[in-house]
Amino acid sequence: MENRSTTHQNDVHFTPADRNSLYKTIFNRRDVRGQFKPDPIPDATLSRILLAAHHAPSVGFMQPWDFIIVTDPNVKRAVHTGFQQAHAEAAAMFTGEKQKVYRTLKLEGIMEAPVNICVTCDRDRTGPVVIGRTADKAMDLYSSVCAVQNLWLAARSEGLGVGWVSIIHPEVLRHALGIPDPIVPIAYLCIGTVSHFLAKPELETANWLPRLPLDELIHGNQWGDKHNPACAALKETIRKDSEQNRQGILPCSTLE
C-alpha cells in the first residue's frame, strides 16, 4: 500500500505585487500615540488581526499568547493612571534638553483608542520542557513578541494604527487586568483608526535619535568585523536600498 503523508506541500507563490505590499506595510508601520479616532473597529477586522497574531511563529509550537481585549473605560482609566505614574518617573531620569523633549511627547493613546489589547505569555502552557526552549528559557517570551509584530503589521494593512504602551509597570497591568501568576504581560497595545500616519517615526522626527545606517550594523563572520570583503557587495546593495527608501521608493519596487 502506498505510504501517504499527512503533511502537504505548500504551493503558495507570491507575486512581485504581493511582495511589494508586504514591504510597503513594514516600512509604513508606525507607533501611534496621538492620532486615534473613536470609530469602533468592526469585529471582522479585529478577527483578522488577531488571527494573524495567532499565526506567529512560536517555540515548540506552544503558542504561549493570550489576548485581553479592553474596551471598558474604567479598565482603561486604571491602566492610564499606571502609565502616568511611570511616565513621571521616566521624565525624572532624563536631564537637560532630553527631559524637555520627553515632556513634550505624547507616548500613549489609552483613553482615545477604541480598543486596547494586552498580549500575554503563558510560560507553562505546554509543560516545563518545550522543544527549542531547553537552552534559552526566554524563547517563549520572544514568541509572544512575534505575535505582537504580526498583529501590528496586520493592523497597519487594515489602515489601523497601533501604539505600544511600554511605560507602565507590569504589576499595574496585572492588577488592572486581573492577570494571574505565572502569566507574563508582554505588550499593552492601543488600536484604532487614525487621523493620519506620520511620514517618519515620531522620535525620529523629533530628533530624539536618528535611524542608524544598516550597513554599519553588518558584521562578517565575527563580531566587530565590519570590513569583511565577503560583505562588501551586500553592504553596497544595502546602501542603495536605504537611499531609495529615504526617497520613498520601496527597495523591491523594481524587482520582477
Domain ranges in the chain are: 29-211, 212-248
The pLDDT score that the predictor gives to residue 48 is 98
Residue 1 has pLDDT above 50, yes or no: no
Average pLDDT for residues 239-246, to the nearest whole number? 88
Distances (CA, A) of 125 to 64, 121, 134, 226: 6, 9, 15, 41
Residue 256 has pLDDT above 50, yes or no: no
pLDDT tens profile 80-97: 999 999 999 999 999 999
Give the residue among 76, 56, 84, 54 at the shortest CA–CA distance from 67. 54
Residue 131 has pLDDT above 60, yes or no: yes
pTM of the model: 0.92
Using a pLDDT cut of 90, give the percent of the chain over it. 87
Average pLDDT for residues 197-209, to the nearest whole number? 92
- Comparing 181 with 256, the larger pLDDT belongs to 181
Residue 250 has pLDDT above 90, yes or no: no
**What is the pLDDT confidence band of residue 10, given thresholds at 50, 70 and 90?**
confident
Ranges 154-163, 203-212, 244-253: which has the least confidence:
244-253
CATH topology of domain 29-211: NADH Oxidase (3.40.109)
Q: Say if CB 53 and CB 151 are below 8 A apart.
A: yes
The pLDDT score that the predictor gives to residue 252 is 67
- Write down the mean pLDDT value for the chain: 93
**What is the pLDDT confidence band of residue 7, given thresholds at 50, 70 and 90?**
low
The pLDDT score that the predictor gives to residue 2 is 45
Residue 44 has pLDDT above 50, yes or no: yes
- Comparing 227 with 61, the larger pLDDT belongs to 61
The pLDDT score that the predictor gives to residue 24 is 94
Residue 253 has pLDDT above 90, yes or no: no
Secondary structure string (H, E, C) spanning the chain: CCCCCCCCCCCCCCCHHHHHHHHHHHHCCCECCCCECCCCCCHHHHHHHHHHHHCCCCHHHCCCEEEEEECCHHHHHHHHHHHHHHHHHHHCCCCHHHHHHHHHCCCCCCCCCCEEEEEEECCCCCCCCCCCCCCCCCHHHHHHHHHHHHHHHHHHHCCCEEEECCCCCHHHHHHHHCCCCCCEEEEEEEEECECCCCCCCHHHHCCCCCCCCHHHHCCCCCCCCCCCHHHHHHHHHHHHHHHHHHCCCCCCCCCC
pLDDT tens profile 154-170: 999 999 999 999 999 99
Residue 249 has pLDDT above 70, yes or no: yes
Residue 124 has pLDDT above 90, yes or no: yes
Q: Say if CB 96 and CB 177 are below 8 A apart.
A: no
